[in-house]
Amino acid sequence: MLELAILGALKEKPMHGYELKKRLSFLLGHLWKISFGSLYPALKRLEAKDAVERAYTVKEKARNRYVYRITPKGEEMFRQLLEETGKSSEITDSDKFSLRLAFFQYMEPELRLWLLEKRRGYLAEKLEEMAGAGKSRYKESDSYRLGLYRHRQELLRSDIRWLDELIEQERKYLLEKERGRGSPRKGEKGGEKLLLDGESLEKATPIQA
Amino acid sequence: MLELAILGALKEKPMHGYELKKRLSFLLGHLWKISFGSLYPALKRLEAKDAVERAYTVKEKARNRYVYRITPKGEEMFRQLLEETGKSSEITDSDKFSLRLAFFQYMEPELRLWLLEKRRGYLAEKLEEMAGAGKSRYKESDSYRLGLYRHRQELLRSDIRWLDELIEQERKYLLEKERGRGSPRKGEKGGEKLLLDGESLEKATPIQA
DNA sequence: TTTCGATATATCATATCGATATATCTTGTC
DNA sequence: GACAAGATATATCGATATGATATATCGAAA
């Protein structure tokens, strides 16, 4: 989960821990509280698995900074993690699903559509469940629980509407692609190149120079 | 967090682990995946703290069932946990906030209003942040991330609207109460008595009879 | 008949959170 | 110029949560 996010962020450019945290917070902050207590251990795990490497150690200013870079092995791992959709929690868990969605640009269109439809089905099922259970809930709930319950349903419906839009877009795209008119969509023109604001890679010394 | 939920559920009636899990899933399932791996340890912690006690051990059918009951100490602890709003995460964390809301009936009206307003303020602040960051995000995001981002904003706005309703209700209630016309609201007529469906406490033998 | 799903309790490895520690650099302010 | 405050940066630790798994019994369907 965190590892997927880290690898996805490091695909953009090499970063050190603090920067990585800021980047991930910016990217996924709305759906996730990323803490150092999990980030650093995760980085170490990834390093042990050769998925990332310590690219540079910048000593000039402030404290040492260890700049991490994704390796080819890491790229491969990213792809696997991203497309690993065997477990149902990949659909069920709203955070996991959103994380994947944030990296949809790296995913096969067919898999994208499949995931979206799976998720839609799951949410629709849940909504139906809730509507069914609603009657028994009426009797035993106070107004607060009832309100919470109704609000959840509303959020669910909003989620479903949103997924419907995404699915429609994806279908349209696939249809056009099949017709051989592979016109690229907004946001994908650059392929995998997602460059950031003015920050260039600062002067750095190779780790074992 | 889990302990608050357990105590709140056991206030209704004594339950054994499996039943407790079903009850909590029914009550809070939409916002939480409760697993045995956390439930049983939590029950043991609570028992060690004398907040719950093993009321009965039913042996008749199937496997042993250990029925837990909340103690006076547990009631006190529940109140403390419920009203413990020092940490900002009690406002920030959407699950924690929702959990508290599910137990609003046990909370002082003034605290209820205060919590709702705090939460509303936090969400409004976040929404503003997002709107501000939106511009820089436009440039570097693909359509999926952008969609995710916009959808989040929509959900935020929906949350705020909902809170506004709750706040208005709470204000009205407090105003009426001040005018000395303490008319009880829907769902509160029964005070703390929240009885469940037909299930009576099954034949059980005291633990050390 | 036996297989499956529900009931019921429990443990384990792994992961995560939140708090805390440490230290330096930058910026503002008196 | 002094000095506090806040951002930068890495790291660890305890408490807790998750997901998987193990065990075992019961009722019902196939």
Q: Across chain B, what does the average pLDDT equal?
A: 82
Residue A183 has pLDDT above 90, yes or no: no
Does residue B65 reach within 7 angstroms of strand C, measured from its CB? yes
- The 10s digit of each residue's pLDDT in A24-60 is 998 887 778 899 999 999 999 999 999 999 987 766 5
Position with higher pLDDT, B204 vs B45: B45
Residue A157 has pLDDT above 60, yes or no: yes
E-strand stretches of chain A:
15-16, 52-58, 65-70
Residue B208 has pLDDT above 50, yes or no: no
Position with higher pLDDT, A208 vs B209: A208
Spell out the long-range contacts of A169-174 with Cβ–Cβ below 8 A and sequence spacing 24 or more: A170/A109, A170/A112, A170/A113, A170/A116, A171/A113, A173/A109, A174/A109, A174/A110, A174/A113
Strands A65-70 and A52-58: antiparallel
Q: Across chain A, what does the average pLDDT equal?
A: 82
Over residues B129-145, the mean pLDDT reads: 77
Share of chain B above pLDDT 70, in %: 80
Residue B205 has pLDDT above 70, yes or no: no
Establish, for the pair of chains A and B, how many residue pairs have beta carbons separated by less than 8 Å: 91
Residue A206 has pLDDT above 50, yes or no: no
Q: Say what the pLDDT of residue B4 is.
A: 94
By C-alpha distance, which of A48, A24, A49, A52 is closest to A36? A24
Instruction: Read off the pLDDT band of B209 (50, 70, 90).
Output: very low
The answer to whether the Cβ–Cβ distance between A144 and B27 falls below 8 Å is no
B14 CA – C16 C1', rounded, Å: 31
Instruction: Read off the pLDDT band of A15 (50, 70, 90).
Output: very high
Report d(CA A34, CA A97) in Å as an integer: 17
Over residues A62-87, the mean pLDDT reads: 88
Does residue B66 reach within 7 angstroms of strand C, measured from its CB? yes
Residue A185 has pLDDT above 70, yes or no: no
B107 CA – D24 C1', rounded, Å: 42
Of A136, A144, A155, the CB nearest to B104: A144
SS (H, E, C) chain B: CHHHHHHHHHHHCCEEHHHHHHHHHHHHHHHCCCCHHHHHHHHHHHHHCCCEEEEEEECCCCCCEEEEEECHHHHHHHHHHHHCCCCCHHHHCHHHHHHHHHCHHHCCHHHHHHHHHHHHHHHHHHHHHHHHHHHHHHHHCCHHHHHHHHHHHHHHHHHHHHHHHHHHHHHHHHHHHHCCCCCCCCCCCCCCCCCCCCCCCCCCCECCC
By C-alpha distance, which of A157, A27, A49 is closest to A104? A27
**A145 CA: distance to closest CA in chain B (Å):** 5
Residue A169 has pLDDT above 60, yes or no: yes
Q: Say what the pLDDT of residue A22 is.
A: 92
A-chain residues near B120 (CB < 8 A): none
Strands B65-70 and B52-58: antiparallel
Q: Say what the pLDDT of residue B31 is.
A: 77
Mutate which of A151, A165, A185 to test chain B, going by most B C-beta atoms within 10 A?
A: A151
Q: Say what the pLDDT of residue B197 is.
A: 35
Give the B-side interface with A, CB within 8 Å.
26-27, 30-31, 33, 93, 98, 101-102, 104-105, 126, 130, 133, 136, 139-149, 151-152, 154-155, 158-159, 162, 165-166, 185-188, 194-197
Closest amino acid to nucleotide C13 (CA–C1'): B37
Over residues A157-172, the mean pLDDT reads: 96
Q: Say what the pLDDT of residue B181 is.
A: 59
Over residues A76-90, the mean pLDDT reads: 87
Of B30, B146, B188, the CB nearest to A187: B146
Q: Say what the pLDDT of residue B30 is.
A: 76
B47 CA – C16 C1', rounded, Å: 25
Alpha-carbon torsion, ordered B161, B163, B165, B168, to 10 deg: -130
Position with higher pLDDT, A65 vs B168: B168
CB A144 within 8 A of CB B102: yes
Does residue B18 reach within 7 angstroms of strand C, measured from its CB? yes
By C-alpha distance, which of B56, B50, B57, B53 is closest to B76? B50
B40 CA – C14 C1', rounded, Å: 18
Over residues A2-11, the mean pLDDT reads: 94
Q: Which fold has domain A2-82?
A: Arc Repressor Mutant, subunit A (1.10.10)
Half-sphere exposure of residue A192, counting CA atoms within 13 Å on the CB side? 10
The answer to whether the Cβ–Cβ distance between A142 and B194 falls below 8 Å is yes
- The 10s digit of each residue's pLDDT in B62-110 is 567 889 999 999 999 999 999 887 777 888 888 899 999 999 999 999 9
Q: Say what the pLDDT of residue A49 is.
A: 92
Over residues A117-142, the mean pLDDT reads: 81
Tokens 């924690």 belong to: B96
Residue A66: phi and psi, rounded to 5, are -105, 110
Half-sphere exposure of residue B6, counting CA atoms within 13 Å on the CB side? 31
